[in-house]
Amino acid sequence: MELLSSNKSFGGWHQRYKHHSAVLNCEMVFAVYLPPQVEQGQRLPVLYWLSGLTCTDENFMQKAGAQRWAAELGLILVAPDTSPRGPGVPSDPEGAWDFGLGAGFYLNATQQPWAKHYQMHDYVVHELPALIEAKVPVTDQRGISGHSMGGHGALVCALRNPGRYQSVSAFSPISHPSDCPWGEKAFSRYLGEDRACWNDWDASLLLAKASERLPILVDQGEQDGFMQDQLKPEVLEAAAKAIDYPLTLRLQPGYDHSYYFVASFIEEHLRYHAQALQQQQP
């Protein structure tokens, strides 16, 4: 871990690091917020935040206002990038913003040339947490959350790895990527044209057969221009109702897809995670 920057924030420290990822075959940057309790020698639970299309770690850390509440609640925040980057990492040949760099979709690609680098699921679920747990004073209690493509990632990470996370939430997640333009474009290239291979990366389909009943909190803005064609929260809700899964889906009147929306409800999400994570501590 090479420290790139360190800024004091609400009595704690926001830090950016660079490291070589063996899983992604490139250099990666991620951000950590260490609440003031860390300087008092406390080990704290950790919340992983997954950002959306075109984003990096900086969008959440600079726009969501999460540090204030993380400092109060005693939560360490970790924000990875949204895709592999650097020399030799392929992107959309036409330079589109919804595929390639900034659009890793938190899955493990099986198709070339993407498979060599685009293994974001293994990076987020295994490699980065192993690094964090070796270098940062976290407990073994993990939560995960995210926005848009990152909301999709958070749900998929939790649903594919029962027992690994003690809390999960999402803002405006891509709930049914197998049946939306963003998801179909990404899945067909990363995973191939066989749609049966897509099922393991679709939150609504994973939820329908979930073995764990980890409660899920989802907030969705009703004025989100992507809700109908790209996000499809109603599909996730229907899957949950069909098996009596503990999903709380809140439709928020007037809110859109932006970080103004995320910032408006991030306190409630952090309190939700803190309650679940702190209850689990010995």
- Residue identified by tokens 């009943």 is 213
pLDDT for the residue 215: 97
DSSP-assigned letters across all residues of 97-138: TTSBTTB-TTSB--STTGGGT-BHHHIIIIIHHHHHHHHS-E
CA distances from 169 to 156, 175, 186 (A): 11, 12, 23
Round to whole Å and give the CA distance between 66 and 229: 29
% the chain with pLDDT above 70 = 99
pTM: 0.96
Give just the sign of the alpha carbon dihedral 203, 205, 211, 216.
positive
CA distances from 104 to 28, 94, 162, 249, 256 (A): 13, 16, 22, 25, 23
Q: What is the DSSP letter of 141?
A: E
pLDDT for the residue 125: 98
Contact 78, 101 (CB under 8 A): no
**Tokens at 259, concatenated:** 């970080």
Q: What is the mean pLDDT of residues 185-194?
A: 97
Cβ burial of 100 (10 Å; 0-12, 13-18, 19+) is buried
* CATH 3.40.50.720, domain 2-279, yes or no: no
pLDDT in tens, 69-115: 999 999 999 999 999 999 999 999 999 999 999 999 999 999 999 99
Which residue stretches of the chain are H helix? 57-63, 66-73, 120-122, 128-135, 149-160, 181-190, 203-208, 233-243, 259-280
Q: What is the mean pLDDT of residues 179-207?
A: 97
Q: What residues are annotated to the active site?
A: 148, 224, 257
Domain coordinates in residue numbering, the chain:
2-279
Q: What is the mean pLDDT of residues 179-193?
A: 97
pLDDT in tens, 261-275: 999 999 999 999 999
Round to whole Å and give the CA distance between 208 and 273: 23
> Do you find a cis peptide bond into 113, omega within 30 degrees of 0?
yes
Round to whole Å and give the CA distance between 55 and 41: 33
**Beta-strand pair 26-34/76-80:** antiparallel
Q: Name the pLDDT band for 280 (thresholds 50, 70, 90).
A: low
Q: Name the pLDDT band for 278 (thresholds 50, 70, 90).
A: confident
Round to whole Å and give the CA distance between 186 and 29: 23
